[in-house]
Amino acid sequence: MRKIALFLAMLLIPAYCLAMTETPVSPQQPVSKELKQQLLGTPVFIQIFKEERTLDLYGKIGNEYRLLNSFRICDFSGGLGPKRVEGDFKSPEGFYSVQLNQLKPDSHFYRAINIGFPNQYDRENGYSGNYLMIHGNCVSIGCYAMTNAYMDQIYTYVNAALRNGQSEVEVNIFPFRMTDSNMQRHRDSAYFSFWKQLKPGYDYFLKHKQPPNVTVDNGQYVLNQNPFSNSSENASKTFLALTQTK
């Protein structure tokens, strides 16, 4: 019996160690409904995970971005991997940004947010395509489609943040939550070298609760360790001033 117990212990120890060192899959719990309502107008940040079919919307509280809500993606197309050619019907992956003129309140797909494909990385690599959106109506031919009810919430927070002084909303799109175990599971993918460029940005937000500042160098995504120097800080101060006067 002692030998059997020792054998079982030897089997369990590696699994236990892996569980202790693995990056958490769900980094945050959503804020309360009451706090969420108060945060309309604060700077926001979006992460999308294809495999989990999840869009996470974050709002800035103090120096951290906290999860406002996780939304189920109704549909996307083309499976895992980046969009490369117009007409391939793939939904993009990478680091994108949204300005106020990219919001489409009168879209044929209810409401829409143009994610800004192609970005600098896409252009330097010769990728083609346009009008890649987060939108409603639950139908996708390369976009990220949400239910209209979910799209209402996402659009409302992005619109309020941009109109309150945030110059652009960062949208980080990943094939999956980029834990070490998920990376290992996908190590034989043809897209693995590309996904290794995305992982530092994923890890940075997980650690710092701030959107990663990712640049492009020689056609590669590169993580800049300095935080974004955009208007989100000023927007946060404006938002706090407005809430304190209510």
**Which residues belong to the active site?**
135, 143
Distance CA 143, CA 78 (A): 10
Find out whether the peptide bond into 30 is cis, omega within 30 degrees of 0: no
Structure tokens at 110: 């209810």
Distance CA 204, CA 207 (A): 5
- Region of 99 (left: φ > 0; alpha: ψ -120 to 50; beta: rest) is beta
- Phi first, then psi: what are they for 151, rounded to 5°? -65, -35
Distance CA 38, CA 222 (A): 35
Structure tokens at 246: 């209510």
